Amino acid sequence: MNDSKQRPNLPLLGFAAYSGTGKTTLLEALLPMLTESGLRIGVLKHAHHDFDVDKPGKDSYRLRKAGAGQMLISSRKRHVLMTETPEAEADFDYLLTRFDTDKLDLILVEGCKNIAFPKIELHREEVGKPWLYSNDSNIIAIAADTQVESELPQMSINDLESIRDFIINYAKDFNPTSLSCQSKPSKAPAVCCDSFSPAGLSVTQGQEKILDSITTEQLSENVAVESAYGRVLAEDVVSPINVPQNTNSAMDGYAIRGDDLDQEQYHVVAEVFAGHSYDQEIQKGQAVKIMTGAPTPIAGDTVIMREQAVQDGDFVRFPEAKIDVGQNVRMAGEDLSVGQAVFTQGTRIEAPEMGMMASLGFATCPVLRKVKVGIFSTGDEVQAPGTPQQANSIYDSNRFTIIGMLQKLGCEIVDYGIIEDDQKKMTEVLHSAALETDMVLTSGGVSVGDADYIKLALDELGEINFWRINMRPGRPLAYGKIEQTPFFGLPGNPVAVMVSFINFVEPAIRKLQGQTNWTPVKANAIATEQLRSRQGRTEFSRGVFSMNEHGQLEVRTTGKQGSGILRSMSEANCLIEISPSVDTVKVGETVTVIPLQGRI
């Protein structure tokens, strides 16, 4: 994502505001005051619409339209580089590199609200928009027409002298060695998303708290390679052999000496099939007919494919072939050599790993014990499928989505069914599940105002936190331990269950299983429809991403996003993640997508 370490060695300061606040007017008034103080200023402005600084009919315009991807036009007073970017808008950090920073003291940025770098928030009450500072830790000061309760420096939006002085001091205090901290200058207290909802946690904070409390399974066992799919390696693996064992032919053809390429014809002295060998040294003028995978004969280091050969009795010619020394030969140990590290402990075994273990001659793999997960659903309205639907009930879908996701992770599952809203019953099942399994998952009953049975049961059994995660869907989440066993109380809504599982349970299970080399895949995609979110929470919309004709990823939503609409998960191939500092994503802007393939 944004790597601020590569940013220019210059102070960078933005103005964050909703349109209508008067960013440009303010900047226009500030610039002469700043330049008067001796600062040399560059401005980066982001425009949502398509703009053109050129004029139809001008030479530069004509040359651009004729195909100049970059058009540099220069005169005595200025020069302008116009760069066409039909595929995608240039990246913020790339744009910063376009400045001639030797000739600047400060870069001011107008727009780019969603990108992390220090900003002053501009706010006018009459515009009627929410504040940004409480959800954006990049805001280091406020210029507004009203006061707020915040530790950030505050100025009047109409007091240009104070704003100027703030900027001058900011530029003066800029410390080039702390470039990587630019988004969080030490003089500004970090305001985090928490301040949005005092009892709430951001997604990352929730993930960190959970992962910190999970300890990896230690017990290991040996399983047959064919049964090892999805298991996690308990030890490093080192190759005991060379793969391939011998230098061999990559083609069906003829082996000759690399120092003997120019003969009119060669005498075919032997024919070698895979699994056999020709043990004599090949001589000048000789060829050995050889099959793919057969060891090349001594000195026979070059193979010409059969399609380029004309064999006549015991003689072969290569009339059309352009022969390079060493061609079509695979070297011994080319894939893996003796003693080479192959896998580290914590690697999850999938199809290629199964094949590689076998190719090293291993019939078994040392793996960590399977993680056993106990699950149940709660709620008097929840009914098991397979029986006629009762009045006022819904079929239990959560247990089945959870079972699917647990199967995908290679867990052993203990299904305790549906537990009625009865405190005694719930306490019993929770307690025995905690003793019998490595993790307990339930769904339903953790939202505010629910019948409190599971909460009462949990209070009795362990230290469970009831969190409000600043995310949608999936705000309520209970997490803690019962008898040292991690417990998750997932929300009841079917989509919230899946999104919470993906964000919190899956990373926890992978850590419990001992997998060390995993991070979820994320990518950037261009939004083809406007996406709404709310500041202060992470929004996970269900999306469908695909590649457009320019080879870029595009994403749309699956439509209705209610957290009870499980069909949206079925139609989606990704979650669209909109960070807490963003409220709306416009068409054409970039968003983060989390592919779901292989995860649900």
Residue 433's contacts (CB-CB under 8 Å, 6 or more residues apart) are 374, 376, 414, 416, 440, 485
Nearest residue to Mg ion on Cβ basis:
379
Let me know: does 455 contact 414? Beta carbons within 8 Å: no
- Pick the stretch among 48-56, 397-405, 488-496, 543-551 that binds Mg ion (CB under 5 A): 488-496
Quote the least distance from Cβ 407 to ligand AMP, whole Å: 17
375 close to 436: Cβ distance less than 8 angstroms: no
- Give me the helices (H) in 226-297, please: none
> Cβ closer to ligand AMP: 120 or 382?
382
Residue 295 binds which of ligand AMP, Mg ion, none (CB < 5-8 A, kind-dependent) = none
364 contact, one of Mg ion, ligand AMP, none, CB 5-8 Å limit per kind = none
Tokens of 481: 């331990």
Residue 379, interface with Mg ion (CB under 5 A)?
Answer: yes
Our CB check for ligand AMP shows the closer of 257 and 537 to be 537
What residues contact residue 532 under an 8 Å CB cut-off, 6+ apart?
583, 584
C-alpha dihedral sign at 343, 346, 352, 358: positive
Residue 317 is which amino acid? R
What's the CA gap between 140 and 85, in Å, rounded? 32
CB closer to ligand AMP out of 381 and 463: 381
Question: Where in 452-582 does DSSP place strands (E)?
Answer: 463-469, 471-472, 476-482, 485-490, 523-527, 531-532, 538-547, 553-557, 574-578
- Nearer to ligand AMP by Cβ, of 346 and 492: the residue is 492
* Shortest reach from residue 451's CB to ligand AMP, in Å: 8
The closest alpha carbon to 598, from 384, 331, 408, 340, belongs to 408
Asked if 494 is part of the footprint of Mg ion (rule: CB under 5 A), the reply reads no
Q: Does 111 bind Mg ion (CB under 5 A)?
A: no
Tell whether residue 489 is a contact of Mg ion (CB under 5 A): no
8 vs 445, beta carbon nearer ligand AMP: 445
Across the strands, what pairs with 526? Answer: 554, 590
Q: Per CB under 5 A, which region of 176-184, 431-439, 444-452, 506-514 contacts Mg ion? A: 444-452
Q: Residue 432 CB, nearest distance to Mg ion (Å)?
A: 21
Which among Mg ion, ligand AMP, none contacts residue 397 (Cβ within 5 to 8 A by kind)? Answer: ligand AMP
**If we measure between CA atoms, which residue out of 272, 241, 268, 418 comes closest to residue 335?**
241
Q: For ligand AMP, which is the closer residue by CB, 162 or 397?
A: 397
Choosing among ligand AMP, Mg ion, none, which partner's interface includes residue 297 (Cβ < 5 to 8 Å by kind)? none
Establish if 444 lies at the interface with Mg ion (CB under 5 A). Answer: yes
Q: Which is nearer to Mg ion, 444 or 473 (CB)?
A: 444
Which of 11, 111, 445, 486 is the binder for Mg ion (CB under 5 A)? 445
For the chain, the straight-line distance linking the first and the last C-alpha, in angstroms and rounded, comes to 25
Which residues face 378 on adjacent strands?
419
DSSP assignment, residue 233? Answer: B
- Residue type for 282, please? I
| 265: partner contacted, choices Mg ion, ligand AMP, none (Cβ within 5-8 A by kind) | none
CA-CA-CA-CA torsion sign (135, 139, 142, 144): negative
Using the rule CB under 5 A, give the single segment among 66-74, 205-213, 354-362, 439-447 that binds Mg ion.
439-447
Q: What are phi and psi of 233, to 5 degrees?
A: -65, 135
E strands within 126-169? 139-144, 154-156
From CA 556, how far away is CA 585, in angstroms rounded? 12
Complex with ligand AMP: residue 75 or 387, whichever CB lies closer? 387
199 or 448, CB closer to Mg ion?
A: 448
Which residue is closest to ligand AMP by CB?
Answer: 492
Pairing of strands 523-527, 463-469: unpaired
CA distances, 153 to each of 21, 142, 412 (Å): 19, 6, 55
Q: Which does 398 bind (CB under 5 to 8 A by kind): Mg ion, ligand AMP, none?
A: ligand AMP
Name the residue nearer to ligand AMP (CB basis): 346 or 379. 379
Q: What is the bridge-based pairing of β-strands 237-238 and 253-256?
A: unpaired
User: 82 or 566, CB closer to ligand AMP?
Assistant: 566
Compute the least distance from the CB of residue 564 to ligand AMP, in Å.
6
Do 414 and 373 form a contact (C-beta atoms < 8 A)? yes
- 8 contacts which partner out of ligand AMP, Mg ion, none, CB within 5 to 8 A by kind? none
Q: Name which of 34 and 565 has its Cβ closer to Mg ion.
A: 565
The residue ranges that bind ligand AMP (CB under 6 A) are 377, 379, 381-382, 394, 396-399, 443-447, 450, 491-494
* Cα 14 to chain centroid, rounded: 27
Q: Which residues contact 70 (CB under 8 A, 6 or more apart)?
A: 81, 82, 83, 84
CB of 97 to ligand AMP, least distance (A): 49
Q: How many residues bind Mg ion (CB under 5 A)?
A: 4
Picked from Mg ion, ligand AMP, none, the partner binding residue 515 (CB below 5 to 8 A depending on kind) is none
Amino acid at 3: D
Q: Which two tokens stand for residue 531?
A: 């996406």
How far is residue 189's CA from residue 151's CA, in Å, rounded to a whole number? 7
Which listed range, 36-44, 219-227, 371-379, 507-515, lies at the site for Mg ion (CB under 5 A)? 371-379
Q: Measured from the CB of residue 22, what is the shortest distance to ligand AMP in angstroms?
A: 45
**Minimum gap (Å) between residue 400 Cβ and ligand AMP:** 8
Nearer to ligand AMP, 383 or 581 (CB): 383
Name which of Mg ion, ligand AMP, none residue 382 binds, using a CB cut-off of 5 to 8 Å depending on partner kind.
Answer: ligand AMP
In the complex, which residues of this chain contact Mg ion (CB under 5 A)?
A: 379, 444-445, 492
